[in-house]
Amino acid sequence: MLILGGGTGGVVAANVLRRALGSRHNITLLNRQEEFIYGASFPLLIVGRRKAHQLTRNLASLKKKGVEFLKTEVLAVVPQEFRVQTDRGEIKYDY
């Protein structure tokens, strides 16, 4: 399975799919940046209840949960051919 984007939706989807599918399928998340920023926690940062380093997560940490992370930018999606063109080359997928 290929997940495009490492924002809230992508990270949640990766975690939920991994739990639901176990190890039956490979899951790869693509994102152009290595870190995810929890934007919903900005108000907690402003009022001093969180530090800046508490609002970020390195997406490579998904590996511990069985999700591969690839830092790359998606340039084109060709769904009828089950492939994605990125700045690092072509990636084929099943789902």
Task: Quote the number of domains for the chain.
Answer: 1
Closest C-alpha among 57, 63, 70 to residue 2: 70
Which amino acid is located at 58 in the chain? N
Reading the block at residue 87, the tokens are 């700045």
pLDDT at 35: 95
CATH of the domain at 48: 3.50.50.60
Closest C-alpha among 84, 61, 60, 57 to residue 73: 84
Asked whether 20 and 41 are in contact (CB, 8 A), the reply is: no
Task: Encode the chain (95 residues) as per-residue pLDDT tens digits.
Answer: 999 999 999 999 999 999 999 988 999 999 999 999 988 899 999 999 999 999 999 999 999 999 999 999 999 999 999 999 999 999 999 98
Task: Specify the residue for token string 């992370």.
Answer: 69
Asked whether 28 and 68 are in contact (CB, 8 A), the reply is: yes
pTM of the model: 0.87
Domain that holds residue 7: 2-92
